[in-house]
Amino acid sequence: MLRKIIGILAAGSLFIAVNMWAVPTGADILKRMDDFQDQRSDITCKADITQQRVGQGIKDLQWIFYRKDKTDSILIVETAPESEKGRGYLRVENNFFLYLPNTRTFQTINRDESIGGSDARAGDFEKRKYSELYRVETNAQGKELIEEVKLGKVSAYMVTLVGIVNDVTYPKQVYWLDKDNFFQYKVQSYSLSGTLMQTAYYPKWTQIEGKFLAVQMIFIDEFDKGNKSIVELSAISLAPLEDSIFTKAYLENLSK
């Protein structure tokens, strides 16, 4: 989930030349999706996450997220709920650490571990291109499955992607992309057996310093019915970040 949350920044100058009067090719679409994911700037933002779980009620989470583009370093600091305040996650190079403020200790975590009790995993932060993970699905005649459809009032391309490597989170995904700007407004994710696992909506977007960011996201669990997460981003800054932020010492000092 979180890889999608932060990985949607796009610079208008990165838009590739596509004839908008014709259906783009699969290569065009994957290139545009890679451009959207290619952040090319540092970022700081607050993430408010509302999780609804069947039998558990509603849980509100709040994170401060930092990412330095040059080194691809990441820092996540939990600020709510109070019981988890000060807990943090630090990724530097290929190392990912969990900081526990009550014991003031760091633990190394693997790519499958949950981040902050959410459905995000440490592996979600790995920087990988769509074009390296997926291809556009084709029919029996070899034609790419790209359709022009309506999503509410939005004219969109509906494109089906299938994994070309074994370790993708979802082996099949269907995207609804705005025809004019390629914003993704809806994504359905499927298991290898073809079971619909998740539907995601991206209804609200904003522009910051010439770049576009989805600031509201809704993730619906289609397998465990009744579970969903709503994510809202605010206090967004693209100002350069100091290297000193992405250190164990900085994270420790925050909890003093």
Closest CA to 236 of 8, 19, 94, 43: 43
Which DSSP category does 171 fall into? Answer: S
Write the pLDDT tens digit of every residue in 166-206: 988 899 999 999 998 888 999 999 999 999 999 999 999 98
Q: What is the pTM of this model?
A: 0.84
pLDDT of res. 94: 84
For 2-254, give the CATH class.
mainly beta
186 in Cβ contact with 179 (< 8 Å):
no
Q: Where are the domains of the chain?
A: 2-254
Higher-pLDDT residue of 202 and 9 is 202
Has residue 86 got a pLDDT over 60? yes
pLDDT of res. 124: 66
Closest CA to 11 of 132, 182, 125: 182
Write the pLDDT tens digit of every residue in 23-66: 799 999 999 888 877 767 899 999 999 999 999 999 999 999 99
- Alpha-helix residue ranges (DSSP H) falling in the chain: 2-6, 26-37, 130-133, 248-254
Tell how strand 154-163 and strand 146-151 pair up. antiparallel
With 0-12 CB in 10 A as exposed, 13-18 as middle and 19+ as buried, what is 53?
middle
